[in-house]
Structure 1
């Protein structure tokens, strides 16, 4: 199926509004899928905006399907940074399927096309179950996938129900082919999460970080740097900065922190897709949340155009190496630091039949604090979970 068959052009009403904005704003500089000219040439595109006006998978935030163009309109009115804005293509809105499964299939196909052409999709939802088809878009790439999700809840739910925004993680874990390597939640709030869900996350060696454990916000950077996909549910932002959700919470990330997280995602040389979900205009009477969502996308783009070509694009042979011996258990932790970017990684050995296979060791992002803790004989939790998952019998 052709890409144009899966996407509606940007609405003419929205494009008519662009006539009134200043010439140097993003609405005048990025390229569009228009009714008269069709899809833009994507050969020079690096980033693609895709609206998905779909909320049939939402349990308690119906109305999020109506928010896509409000975010898009606010984004158009921002000035660019020091970017080549013509590398951004707005592909319009995904055609809504007769069923929710049809919408999932269409979004999966669009993501597959963009991944194949090395274009990063920026998906504007809709409800956060749309992460599910984005993940399925990786199934033909023959690679494992790491997901980081900013969310006040874990959304594990039960597999007995169809995919929705409260149980999509269960479906991700059990979906064939089994390509989910790791799932990391950032910003969950303990009183919104059942103990059983936390126990299940630990049983699967998935990472989860309470909101209060992520101060200062720079602690999030390595957690985002490890991801192939970032899913950002707006419910993770506190209500005073984000009224546009039916279940806005009094606590959460600040607007500034949300923008910082998106910038970290853009900076990551590994990240291939981002989804922004949960915005509901029915509760956003002054368009505060729409403006914040637009600024979050702006910061993601800002990060992308400042990528450093870091690992995995740069070999670890160019890094500084630090070895720490953990006396209890006799573990050897190997850290790497890129002296050019001051970013840190931690090596995780893969164990096969009791033998360490150095050629297949993996690096997980970390920070200098992890190194200092190791020097003080504290094993980083992320290393331990990753180590348990790499033991091959």
Structure 2
């Protein structure tokens, strides 16, 4: 495996690690050092990776990034009852061009995914999500992305990719592998009406900050269906971030962003997770500790994953069939976890990449809507994308 793009964890962090309790995360994970090299990977692992690239940051801060404080905060935490091995692969330095960084990140994530290792990316500007997405080109026929962000990040198609326009490039550039894009926590005043209209036209999902904060469980089915989860740290309210990270007084609370991270980890489909727009250059202890706790909750979620059945054995699920207007809606409830799915039938006359019945994660509330003759919005949007 070629990890030549990566630089070791700094000596400052390694010295700090030596002083930690043997029970801490830092003492239990394997670390890329200049002396020992990159830790070996054997699958079933989680790999932390810093990417020090922010030249496409739309806010034009472009500071020299440093994730040492985040690592120290994360290393000092105590793990839960984790059965996965965690490794810290160190950092990916900016390439000569931004495209060089994209290539290096794509190649690194491709290697990790092929080894069944879940990469956790610490960014840099959020346009790095584009490179993360491209790493799936030879791995999955269709990809679902969830963006935890106050903005949709669709941007102007005619302009160069930035941290606020990377989704437009994902949508329009071949190969077309994006099936669904969902934004959690968007704030209307940060998004143009054209972007809002385009989200609706493409049948993408968008959940306002207010509705998610009112009921955080709303995001669980959305994250259960995601392959890539990209978190913009500026989606968090500025009062709990360090001074140079403050963007908006409104946003997710610390508890809410950690709950979202845990839901992401619990999802069996999520195979990469990233926290971006980290403008950390030194001693930003508040942002560092929140980021460390987000990492902790994601890993905690991964360790709480439940392998669901494929709903072949009728002893493992309950099946419900409802008729809404002209649609026959088929729901499945797992007897193991209590989670719900709804079936999206394959349309044989449509040339798409979904060659079978697809089970879409949903909530019990979707079934309750169906028996009251209301088509669930998630099902409708997925069905419409299937026939586009």
Residue 153 (structure 1) aligned with residue 133 (structure 2)? no
**Matches of 1:72 and 1:337, distance apart in 2:** 40
**Matches of 2:338 and 2:149, distance apart in 1:** 28
SS in 2 for 1:295: helix
Residue 219 (structure 1) aligned with residue 218 (structure 2)? yes
Residue 336 (structure 1) aligned with residue 335 (structure 2)? no
Tell me the equivalent position of 2:7: 8
Residue 310 (structure 1) aligned with residue 316 (structure 2)? no
SS in 1 for 2:346: strand
Please list every run of 5 or more consecutive structure 1 residues that lacks an aligned counterpart in the other structure. none
Q: Per-residue CA shift, 1:236-288, capped at 9, x if unaligned?
A: 11112234654521111110010011101111111110011112236x96611
Question: Which residue of the other structure, out of 358, 378, 385, is the alignment partner of 1:382?
Answer: 378
**Matches of 1:64 and 1:244, distance apart in 2:** 14
> How many Å apart are 1:218 and its aligned residue?
0.9
Whether the 8 Å CA contact 1:279–1:290 is kept in 2: the answer is no
Structure 1 residues 116 and 376: alpha-carbon distance in aligned structure 2, compared to 1, 3 A threshold: same
Question: Which residue of the other structure, out of 367, 373, 386, is the alignment partner of 1:371?
Answer: 367
Tell me the equivalent position of 1:251: 250
Residue 102 (structure 1) aligned with residue 100 (structure 2)? yes
Tell me the equivalent position of 1:270: 269
Please list every run of 5 or more consecutive structure 2 residues that lacks an aligned counterpart in the other structure. none
Whether the 8 Å CA contact 1:186–1:211 is kept in 2: the answer is yes
Tell me the equivalent position of 1:209: 207
Question: Which residue of the other structure, out of 176, 179, 191, is the alignment partner of 1:181?
Answer: 179
Tell me the equivalent position of 1:116: 114
**Matches of 1:290 and 1:107, distance apart in 2:** 22
> How many Å apart are 1:378 and its aligned residue?
1.5
Tell me the equivalent position of 1:137: 135
Comparing 130-139 and 343-352, the one that deviates more: 343-352
Structure 1 residues 244 and 257: alpha-carbon distance in aligned structure 2, compared to 1, 3 A threshold: farther
Aligned residues: 383
**Matches of 2:42 and 2:215, distance apart in 1:** 39
**Matches of 1:120 and 1:219, distance apart in 2:** 24
Whether the 8 Å CA contact 2:185–2:207 is kept in 1: the answer is yes
Whether the 8 Å CA contact 1:55–1:63 is kept in 2: the answer is yes
SS in 1 for 2:229: strand
> How many Å apart are 1:64 and its aligned residue?
6.3
Whether the 8 Å CA contact 1:52–1:68 is kept in 2: the answer is no
